[in-house]
Structure 1
């Protein structure tokens, strides 16, 4: 089979098919039409993005399910994230942090997927989001192997699929987990907090304990929600160990359980988690 000439319509089609199948593309857009690099990049990006949106909608056409999201979603998210934010931050900073986290949660739904894929700056990220969305519907994803992920985060934005609401793990909460990551990833000044010379992030979490911190926040939030009182929380922690600990090699399970045990006995367990994971 003859190789299409670079720049030809057939060659462009091969580039589009490659992107749709893998999420990969030439960021320099060599061979694409255009008088200057910025014009070439803009046109090529538009073509790839349009193809991604069209293919995503085609694959999802017969799989649109009614949304299982609470309505309205903002008050629900505030209630979900408020305990963590209030436990980790001072009264002066709480509302700024909570507003940032709530505003950064984006659930991928049939009503907003086109807007999400259109506005996402990076084509590689848009491709990943399309796959997460398709898998949440039960549709055939673009990639060959299913990743079965609930969502992904970028900067202060956390994209979440509707499979979040179908998770049956009583100690899992992807929204809290990813919100916890935002607290050590973003810059204080970027979200409206006063800068601190010794800590540019809202929380100073040790690099090697960031996943431990996020998983501990996730589990602790669920324990608080389901088990009022220290005795009930101790019982919940025991069930957590039996049910299954984080399937992440970056998390030391003994340390993780010790942090949670410390947290459920403390007056402010959130602060104890932060202290145990601090740099």
Structure 2
């Protein structure tokens, strides 16, 4: 297999030889050349598939920072003490990137991992209605890497009353970001912004997403409880990482609680503090929903 074959394989699958053996040079040079060529090939292919698209109008004149702050502020106010809310809000309000024709090339070239770049390419292609790169390509609406939340333009077309994947991806930042990154004091027991069980991270993000919509639409406790029941009855996230029944139960409990955010966090906390969290470089994704 030569470099052309390796490029074709990467474009259709997102996979590549970690040792980059078909490229010339020593190990460091092989990796440098391979990563550069694979990224450039990805950009060229995405641009080829979207060459006839018109300029994106939905973001024209839109200030993303206040939009993001408005969406995430209730979650931050509910999850963090007053002394920490400002620092967390300052982080999140600048964390959201909508993938557009204007920025997709730069995003693909600068993302940390090749696999992430491939996922982001497919997220973008899906959002503009273009064929994905391969049959196994994920159908994503959002993806979080470090403290950046990449969001599909489909966000502005979402019809579900309980969907808000900007909030979903922002919720993932809490377990991806260390406290010292935003200038908050850190201890051995408090290293990350929030202590969330590894196996419940998607449950936490989906619950925050649905609960944010319940709060936004429900003006009082009775209305919020009714909305939570409506959420439980409609199509739930088609994501094998979460239990539909547990999700519905958690949103119901949050809607009835005095501080639903704290209830969600408590239900998604590690069983003991001895559980070790994974690296802050973890990439998390929001799968495409197939329901209302």
Question: TM-score if structure 1 supplies the norm length?
Answer: 0.88
Are residues 229 and 160 of structure 1, via their aligned partners in 2, closer, same or farther at CA, if it must alter by over 3 Å?
A: same
String of CA shifts for 1:156-208, please: whole Å, max 9, x gaps.
Answer: 22211111221111111111112112212322223322102223211122333
Partner of 1:57: 47
Please say which of residues 170-179 and 206-215 is displaced more in the overlay: 206-215
Aligned length: 269
Query: Structure 1 pair 204/141, CA: closer, same or farther in 2 (3 Å)?
Result: same
Following TM superposition, by how much is the alpha carbon of 1:128 offset from its aligned partner in structure 2, in angstroms?
A: 1.4
Query: Is the helix fraction higher in 1 or 2?
Result: 1
Residue 135 of structure 1 deviates from its aligned partner by 1.4
Greater shift, 175-184 or 200-209, is seen at 200-209
After superposing the two structures, state which structure 1 stretch, 255-264 or 156-165, moved more.
255-264
Cα RMSD, aligned residues only: 2.0
Give the Cα–Cα distance (whole angstroms) in 1 for the partners of residues 243 and 153 of structure 2. Answer: 29
Q: Distance in 2 between matches of 1:173 and 1:13?
A: 40
Q: Any idea what the Cα deviations from partners look like across 1:229-254, whole Å, max 9, x if unmatched?
A: 11211221121122223333443444
Gaps of 5+ in 1: 1-5
1:3 aligned partner:
none
Q: What aligned pairs does 1:264-275 form with structure 2 within 5 A after superposition?
A: 264-275=255-266
Distance 1:257 1:49 in 2: 40
> Is contact 1:189–1:195 with CA below 8 Å preserved after alignment?
yes
* Structure 2 unpaired stretches of 5+: 271-292
- Residues 1-279 of structure 1 mapped to structure 2, 5 A cutoff: 11-34=2-25, 36-64=26-54, 66-69=56-59, 71-145=62-136, 147-279=138-270
Aligned partners of 1:42, 1:208: CA distance in 2, in Å?
Answer: 34
| 1:86-106 Cα deviation digits (max 9, x unpaired) | 111112111211222222221
Distance 2:268 2:161 in 1: 23
User: How far did residue 68 of structure 1 move?
Assistant: 2.1
Highest relative contact order (Cα 8 Å, sep 6+), 1 or 2?
2
